[in-house]
Protein backbone atom coordinates (compact mmCIF):
# COMPACT_ATOMS: atom_id res chain seq x y z
CA UNK A 1 0.00 0.00 0.00
CA UNK A 2 1.37 3.32 -1.00
CA UNK A 3 1.19 6.48 1.05
CA UNK A 4 -1.42 7.74 -1.38
CA UNK A 5 -3.78 4.87 -0.68
CA UNK A 6 -3.28 5.04 3.07
CA UNK A 7 -4.07 8.73 3.05
CA UNK A 8 -7.07 8.18 0.82
CA UNK A 9 -8.61 5.61 3.12
CA UNK A 10 -7.83 7.55 6.27
CA UNK A 11 -9.34 10.72 4.84
CA UNK A 12 -12.38 8.87 3.58
CA UNK A 13 -12.93 7.26 6.96
CA UNK A 14 -12.65 10.66 8.65
CA UNK A 15 -15.01 12.27 6.16
CA UNK A 16 -17.69 9.62 6.47
CA UNK A 17 -17.52 9.24 10.23
CA UNK A 18 -17.55 12.99 10.78
CA UNK A 19 -20.48 13.37 8.42
CA UNK A 20 -22.28 10.81 10.52
CA UNK A 21 -21.25 12.74 13.60
CA UNK A 22 -22.92 15.85 12.18
CA UNK A 23 -26.31 14.23 12.12
CA UNK A 24 -25.93 12.01 15.15
CA UNK A 25 -24.61 14.43 17.76
CA UNK A 26 -27.29 16.03 19.88
CA UNK A 27 -25.49 19.27 20.49
CA UNK A 28 -25.62 21.63 17.48
CA UNK A 29 -22.20 23.08 18.27
CA UNK A 30 -20.68 19.62 18.07
CA UNK A 31 -22.47 19.10 14.76
CA UNK A 32 -20.88 22.21 13.32
CA UNK A 33 -17.45 21.16 14.55
CA UNK A 34 -17.92 17.75 12.95
CA UNK A 35 -18.90 19.46 9.75
CA UNK A 36 -15.69 21.47 9.83
CA UNK A 37 -13.74 18.24 10.20
CA UNK A 38 -15.62 16.81 7.24
CA UNK A 39 -14.63 19.77 5.14
CA UNK A 40 -11.04 19.24 6.16
CA UNK A 41 -11.12 15.64 5.10
CA UNK A 42 -12.61 16.64 1.76
CA UNK A 43 -9.91 19.26 1.34
CA UNK A 44 -7.42 16.49 1.97
CA UNK A 45 -8.97 14.59 -0.91
CA UNK A 46 -8.56 17.61 -3.13
CA UNK A 47 -4.89 17.77 -2.22
CA UNK A 48 -4.53 14.11 -3.09
CA UNK A 49 -5.95 14.91 -6.50
CA UNK A 50 -3.35 17.64 -6.89
CA UNK A 51 -5.98 20.34 -6.64
CA UNK A 52 -4.44 22.43 -3.90
CA UNK A 53 -6.26 25.55 -4.92
CA UNK A 54 -9.64 23.92 -4.54
CA UNK A 55 -8.58 22.45 -1.23
CA UNK A 56 -7.58 25.81 0.15
CA UNK A 57 -10.63 27.58 -1.21
CA UNK A 58 -12.77 24.90 0.35
CA UNK A 59 -11.14 25.62 3.69
CA UNK A 60 -11.31 29.40 3.36
CA UNK A 61 -14.91 29.51 2.26
CA UNK A 62 -16.48 26.71 4.25
CA UNK A 63 -14.37 26.05 7.31
CA UNK A 64 -13.07 29.60 7.65
CA UNK A 65 -16.08 31.71 6.83
CA UNK A 66 -19.39 29.92 6.58
CA UNK A 67 -18.86 27.52 9.45
CA UNK A 68 -17.55 30.29 11.66
CA UNK A 69 -20.73 32.25 11.03
CA UNK A 70 -22.71 29.10 11.73
CA UNK A 71 -20.91 28.62 15.02
CA UNK A 72 -21.50 32.25 15.75
CA UNK A 73 -25.24 32.06 15.25
CA UNK A 74 -25.62 28.77 17.07
CA UNK A 75 -23.65 30.02 20.05
CA UNK A 76 -25.68 33.23 20.12
CA UNK A 77 -28.94 31.35 20.07
CA UNK A 78 -27.54 28.94 22.63
CA UNK A 79 -29.33 25.94 21.22
CA UNK A 80 -29.15 22.84 23.31
CA UNK A 81 -30.28 19.29 23.01
CA UNK A 82 -33.31 19.85 25.22
CA UNK A 83 -34.57 22.77 23.12
CA UNK A 84 -34.98 20.51 20.14
CA UNK A 85 -38.59 19.34 19.83
CA UNK A 86 -38.93 15.61 20.01
CA UNK A 87 -40.81 13.97 17.19
CA UNK A 88 -43.40 11.30 17.87
CA UNK A 89 -42.55 7.63 17.59
CA UNK A 90 -44.67 7.17 14.50
CA UNK A 91 -43.02 10.02 12.66
CA UNK A 92 -39.61 8.68 13.58
CA UNK A 93 -40.55 5.25 12.33
CA UNK A 94 -41.88 6.68 9.07
CA UNK A 95 -38.69 8.66 8.62
CA UNK A 96 -36.53 5.63 9.23
CA UNK A 97 -38.49 3.51 6.77
CA UNK A 98 -38.57 6.06 3.96
CA UNK A 99 -34.94 7.01 4.51
CA UNK A 100 -33.99 3.36 4.49
CA UNK A 101 -35.82 2.77 1.23
CA UNK A 102 -34.08 5.74 -0.37
CA UNK A 103 -30.77 4.44 0.93
CA UNK A 104 -31.46 1.06 -0.61
CA UNK A 105 -32.27 2.59 -3.98
CA UNK A 106 -29.11 4.67 -4.03
CA UNK A 107 -27.04 1.77 -2.76
CA UNK A 108 -28.39 -0.51 -5.44
CA UNK A 109 -27.63 2.00 -8.16
CA UNK A 110 -24.12 2.61 -6.88
CA UNK A 111 -23.44 -1.07 -6.44
CA UNK A 112 -24.20 -1.85 -10.04
CA UNK A 113 -22.63 1.33 -11.37
CA UNK A 114 -19.63 1.21 -13.60
CA UNK A 115 -17.00 2.67 -11.33
CA UNK A 116 -14.24 4.62 -12.99
CA UNK A 117 -10.77 4.53 -11.49
CA UNK A 118 -9.29 7.98 -11.14
CA UNK A 119 -6.04 8.57 -12.93
CA UNK A 120 -3.63 9.48 -10.16
CA UNK A 121 -0.70 10.58 -12.25
CA UNK A 122 -1.60 13.26 -14.72
CA UNK A 123 -4.21 15.46 -13.13
CA UNK A 124 -3.16 19.05 -12.96
CA UNK A 125 -6.57 20.43 -13.78
CA UNK A 126 -6.89 21.57 -10.18
CA UNK A 127 -3.90 23.87 -10.42
CA UNK A 128 -4.88 27.46 -10.29
CA UNK A 129 -3.74 28.47 -13.77
CA UNK A 130 -5.64 25.65 -15.46
CA UNK A 131 -8.65 26.29 -13.32
CA UNK A 132 -8.58 29.96 -14.23
CA UNK A 133 -8.44 29.18 -17.92
CA UNK A 134 -11.39 26.81 -17.73
CA UNK A 135 -13.33 29.24 -15.60
CA UNK A 136 -12.85 32.20 -17.89
CA UNK A 137 -13.22 30.36 -21.19
CA UNK A 138 -15.65 27.48 -21.02
CA UNK A 139 -17.53 28.44 -17.91
CA UNK A 140 -17.47 32.18 -18.23
CA UNK A 141 -21.24 32.51 -18.40
CA UNK A 142 -22.07 30.67 -15.16
CA UNK A 143 -19.19 32.52 -13.54
CA UNK A 144 -20.53 35.90 -14.52
CA UNK A 145 -24.20 35.08 -14.04
CA UNK A 146 -23.63 33.97 -10.48
CA UNK A 147 -22.95 37.63 -9.71
CA UNK A 148 -26.70 38.20 -10.15
CA UNK A 149 -27.24 35.55 -7.51
CA UNK A 150 -24.88 37.24 -5.09
CA UNK A 151 -26.39 40.62 -5.83
CA UNK A 152 -29.84 39.39 -4.94
CA UNK A 153 -28.50 37.74 -1.80
CA UNK A 154 -26.92 41.04 -0.80
CA UNK A 155 -30.17 42.89 -1.40
CA UNK A 156 -31.79 40.27 0.77
CA UNK A 157 -29.33 40.91 3.56
CA UNK A 158 -30.27 44.58 3.47
CA UNK A 159 -34.00 44.13 3.08
CA UNK A 160 -34.28 41.54 5.82
CA UNK A 161 -31.46 42.62 8.08
CA UNK A 162 -32.10 46.34 8.39
CA UNK A 163 -34.36 47.58 11.11
CA UNK A 164 -37.77 48.83 10.21
CA UNK A 165 -39.99 50.77 12.58
CA UNK A 166 -42.03 48.08 14.29
CA UNK A 167 -45.71 48.48 15.03
CA UNK A 168 -46.24 46.38 18.10
CA UNK A 169 -49.95 45.70 18.34
CA UNK A 170 -50.51 45.64 14.63
CA UNK A 171 -48.88 42.27 14.15
CA UNK A 172 -51.59 40.20 15.72
CA UNK A 173 -54.43 42.09 14.06
CA UNK A 174 -53.03 41.72 10.60
CA UNK A 175 -53.11 37.99 10.81
CA UNK A 176 -55.85 36.39 8.87
CA UNK A 177 -57.78 33.37 9.80
CA UNK A 178 -56.15 30.26 8.57
CA UNK A 179 -56.42 26.55 8.93
Partner 1 sequence: MKAIIATTVFGVIMMFAGLWVNDKKSIAGLATFLFAALLGVTIWDLTTTSVNSPKSLFNDMLRSEHYSLWFNTIMTGCSLLYVLLMGKEVQKVGKYVSEYFALIFFILCGLYLLSMYNNLLMMFIGIEILSIPQYILAGSDKRNLKSSEASLKYFLMGAFSTGILLMGITLLYGAARTFNITEMVTLMHSDALNPLALAGILFIMIAFSFKVSAAPMHMWTPDVYDGSPTVFTAFMATVVKSAAFFAFLRLFQVSFNSLSEHWVMVLAIITAATLLVGNVTAVFQQSVKRMLAYSSIAQAGFMLFAVLAVNAVAWQGIIIYAVAYSVATIGIFAVLVKLKDYTYDGFNGLAQREPLLAFVTTIFLFSLAGIPLTGGFMAKYYVLLAVVQQGQLMWLVIFALLMAAISVYYYFRVIIAMYFKAGTPEISSPVTGGDKFMLVVTCALVILLGVLPQLFLTKV
Partner 2 sequence: MSLFLEISFSAMANGLHNWLAGSISNATLVSVTEMAIAGVSLLLFLVPLCFFLGYMERKVAAFMQIRLGPNRVGPKGTLQIVADTVKLLFKEGLTPNASDKFLFNLAPIIVVVTSMLAMAPIAFAKNFQIWDINIGVLYVSAISSLAVIGILMAGWSSYNKYSLLGAMRSGAQIVSYELSVGLSLISIVILTGSLRMSDIVASQADGWWIIKGHIPVIISFVIFLIASTAEINRAPFDLAEAEQELTAGFHTEYSGMKFAMFLLAEYINLFIVSAIAATLFLGGWMPFHLGNWSFFNNVMDYIPGSLWFMGKTFLIIFIIMQFRWTFPRLRVDQLLTLEWKYLLPISMVNVIIVTMMAIFGWHL
The site for partner 2 (CB under 8 A) is made up of: 2-3, 27, 29-30, 33, 36, 52-53, 56-57, 59-60, 63-65, 67-69, 71-72, 75-76, 127-128
Q: Which residues contact 29 (CB under 8 A, 6 or more apart)?
A: 71, 74, 75, 79
CA dist list (Å): 169 to 20, 143, 149, 164, 176: 45, 46, 36, 15, 15
Phi then psi for 27, rounded to 5 degrees?
Answer: -90, 125
What's the rounded Cα separation, in Å, for the pair 74 and 22? 14
The option from partner 1, partner 2, none interacting with 173 (CB < 5 to 8 A, set by class) reads none
Nearest CB to partner 2, comparing residues 17 and 30: 30
Residue 71 contacts residue 31 (beta carbons within 8 Å): no
Which one of partner 2, partner 1, none interacts with residue 15, CB within 5 to 8 A by kind? none
HSE-CB of 54 using CA atoms within 13 angstroms: 19
- Using CB under 8 A, which of the segments 21-29, 53-61, 68-76, 158-166 binds partner 1? 158-166
Q: Does 106 bind partner 1 (CB under 8 A)?
A: yes
Judged by beta carbon, residue 89 or residue 121, the one nearer partner 2 is: 121
Does 76 interact with partner 1 (rule: CB under 8 A)?
A: no
3-state helix, strand, coil in the chain (%, to 5): 70, 0, 30
Q: Which does 60 bind (CB under 5 to 8 A by kind): partner 2, partner 1, none?
A: partner 2
Look at the chain and count its residues: 179
CB of 12 to partner 1, least distance (A): 16
Least Å from the CB of residue 167 to partner 2: 27
Please say which residue, 2 or 109, places its beta carbon nearer to partner 1: 109
Amino acid sequence: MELYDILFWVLSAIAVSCALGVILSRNPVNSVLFLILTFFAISGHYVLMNAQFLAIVNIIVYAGAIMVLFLFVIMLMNLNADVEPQKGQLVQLAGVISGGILFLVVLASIKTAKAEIMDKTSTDIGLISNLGKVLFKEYVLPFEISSVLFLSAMIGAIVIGKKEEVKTSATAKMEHVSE
